[in-house]
Amino acid sequence: MAVFSLSDFADHEQVVFVSDDKSGLKAIIAIHNSNLGPALGGCRMWPYASEDEAIRDVLRLSRGMTYKSAMARLKLGGGKSVIIGNPRTHKTPELLAAFARALEQLNGRYIAAEDSGTSVADMKIMAQLTSHVAGIVDKPSDQGTRSGDPSPATAYGVFVGIKAAVQEKLGRDSLAGLRVAVQGVGNVGLDLARQLKAAGAQLWITDIHREPLLQAGKELGATVVAPDEIFGLDVDVFAPCALGAVLNDTTIPQLKAAIVAGAANNQLAEPRHGVALMKRDILYAPDYVINAGGIIDVYHERIGFERAALIAHIEGIHDNLLEIFARARKEARPTGEVADAIAEERFMR
């Protein structure tokens, strides 16, 4: 693959390929932009079908982090990393240590956090070898303390964002009776589904892992559907909380939802899919705006944690989205395009 000529490579400051024969580590660290501060972003572990797929994913994800942090008004740049492999079978302390050593060599230009396929426990293992990991500090919560896991903050931000989208599109404040399809009941999706249920929403859920899915269905009183059935359901909101590129030529024509609002990063397979959603009169909450709760949480960990300030910062996602929706409506432009324009004004020099 010719990496430099990939469109996803454009504007990247640095991309590092890491390998360690002993532990079997194969990883890619991408630093998109550090104008506003060190590049902070999740470390994803996933059994990519090919190295090309992993490269594309990390480049897209790191760019997304630059826009996300700028939009959320954080003094951070954008970066991301991927470890190629199945987290259930290939993750060992040796592999995590090899990755931590690679982080240390970057000297703080990139700071890793938990993401799909990695956990707070993994970050704590890495933290023994490098200080360039985040999301590892225990914090106060309603239940006493919670770990550094940013997922609850992300889920709360998505919940707040769904409220903004419902207000814009359906003209109401209450979520009672709202029909929501959640794709992926992992760390974020399950927490989001719990908040939606508590607000009176009716839920449809799916996941590729059957056991946790059935358990979640039971707990939430949700209707469980097969992964390929989630797109065409007759619901108000489709909430993608699994992986990226789920809004594409195959899935968009199937959607009956009036709103797409979920946690997954890089939901649009290509920018033109934002136009396709607009043409179908589906309101899309730009992914990096609605899923910023986690990075806001991690940022507050680094500047000294104060819970009220954190909650207020996350709740700012509501007004951020309303501003984007209003401008998109006025200018008849896709919401993602409007969000990008606002973010670029904030990080470009």
* Spatial distance between the Cα atoms of 267 and 254, rounded to a whole number of angstroms: 15
Position 18 contacts ligand NAD (CB under 6 A): no
Number of residues in contact with ligand NAD under rule CB under 6 A: 25
For ligand NAD, the binding residue among 34, 183, 251, 320 (CB under 6 A) is 183
List the end-to-end C-alpha distance of the chain, in Å, as a whole number.
Answer: 31
Q: Helix/strand/coil (H, E, C) string of 123-151?
A: HHHHHCCCCCECCCCCEEECCEEECCCCH
Among 66, 147, 206, 320, binds ligand NAD (CB under 6 A): 206
Which range binds ligand NAD by CB under 6 A, 10-18, 20-28, 30-38, 184-192?
A: 184-192
Buried/exposed code over 183-193 (b: 16+ C-beta within 10 A; e: otherwise): bbbbbbbbbbb
Q: Is 24 in the site for ligand NAD (CB under 6 A)?
A: no
The verdict on whether 80 is a catalytic residue reads yes
Instruction: Fill in the per-residue mask, 63 to 102: x = in contact with ligand NAD (CB under 6 A), - = not in contact.
Output: ----------------------------------------
Interacting residues of 104 by C-beta distance below 8 A, sequence separation 6+? 129, 130, 132
Two tokens at 17?
Answer: 């390929």
For 67-209, strand residue ranges (E) read 77-84, 110-114, 139-141, 144-146, 179-183, 202-206
Distance CA 149, CA 134 (A): 9
Single out the catalytic residue among 26, 80, 91, 169: 80
Comparing every residue's Cβ against ligand NAD, the nearest one is 186
Q: Which stretch binds ligand NAD (CB under 6 A): 78-86, 89-97, 125-133, 206-214?
A: 206-214
Residue 188 binding ligand NAD, by CB under 6 A: yes
- Contacts to ligand NAD by CB under 6 A: 115-116, 150-151, 154, 183-189, 206-209, 227, 241-243, 263-265, 291, 294
